[in-house]
Amino acid sequence: MFKSALVGLATLALATVAVTGQSPTAQSTNPPGRLDSLAGVYGGPRAAVRDTNGDGLDDSVAARVIVPAAATSEDVEAAANIAARLGYETTALTLPLVVTDAEVTSPADVALPILVGRDNVFVKQLAARGAVDLKPLQPGQGLIALVSSPLGGPAGIVVAGGDAAGTLAAGVELAARLPRLWNMTGIRLDAVERQVAGFLDSKGAGGAAARVESLVVDADRRGIASVGVRVVVPAARAARALQALADLDAAHRRGEQERTLDFAEAAATTVTVVAGGARRGEVAVRRSGLNARTLTPPVDPDEFAPEPNAAGVIEPRLAPAKAFDLANTY
């Protein structure tokens, strides 16, 4: 039922190309600058949705979701969920939101390409030139990665997995949780960036500009496997920044500094240090203690369970609820 509903939705979006005759490129003009963080996907001048008339309300979808010509059902589900989120974020839009890689005739004109699926032609090209690395992904793992000029134009986003299930898991993260890290009331990605920059500043490696550029999720585990943060520091402070991060990871292994870059729903914060335009190194700061994500499935069985009434009884009409998705919208 779920797959059928999503396939129908995505098919409608794809078919709109033929019905409307419109190009699969965004219609809005590109403002100056570029999207430089996953924290800004749904808000800001370079976001997936934009305000074109200055009234304070987003009224255009700049992004286009691009799937493989021979998309798997998981690719279609991921694309449909992302398209639904884009529609939710705007007061108006121009179809189609979802197109195939074979239908993109002017790649550089796409204002914000969201490339879905490991068999996507554009994703394969990015992997071949080292712009994204899918090789470390295990079965069930998915990657959301911000990529500079993936189609020769503005920045874009890759949503792909170690397999089809991983692609779907990454699509759900992008569609349902950003700009939060995981929980709907939890920390935002921009707060993660501020904490990384603040920590380095406290260690004498100040001046860092931190941006969340990637997330790795697991289909069968709760939370984030890795938050990828890129920090740009003055060249003279690069070594100090790397050492401070390595020392923090060691402290976490001893159960110390538990309030520093220690996010409850992330197994690791992987920080890449850049200075002088060159990559100087990478440190994975692992979460201290036993992460809850190692013990629970992607959705806590009690997360959607009803609360008992005053007598401590769960009424039959409030039977344990299922997770919300497009299959049970109505």
**Amino acid letter, residue 260:** T
- The pLDDT tens digits of the residues spanning 262-294 come to 988 899 999 999 999 999 999 999 998 765 555
Question: Which pair of tokens denotes residue 91?
Answer: 């007061």
To the nearest 10°, report the CA torsion of 116, 268, 282, 161: -20
- The pLDDT tens digits of the residues spanning 185-206 come to 888 999 999 999 999 999 988 7
Q: Is 18 helix (H, G, I), strand (E, B) or coil?
A: helix
Mean pLDDT value across the chain: 83
CA distance 297 to 172: 15
Q: Give the closest residue to 281 by CA, choosing from 323, 313, 258, 249.
A: 249
Count other Cβ atoms within 10 Å, centred on residue 206. 15
Q: Is 19 helix (H, G, I), strand (E, B) or coil?
A: helix
CA distance 117 to 64: 14
> Residue 57 above 80 pLDDT?
yes
Structure confidence at residue 302 (pLDDT) = 43
Please answer whether residues 234 and 200 qualify as being in contact, where contact means their C-beta atoms are separated by less than 8 angstroms.
no
Kindly write down the DSSP assignment for every residue of 196-215, as one continuous string: HHHHHHHTT--S-EEEEEEE
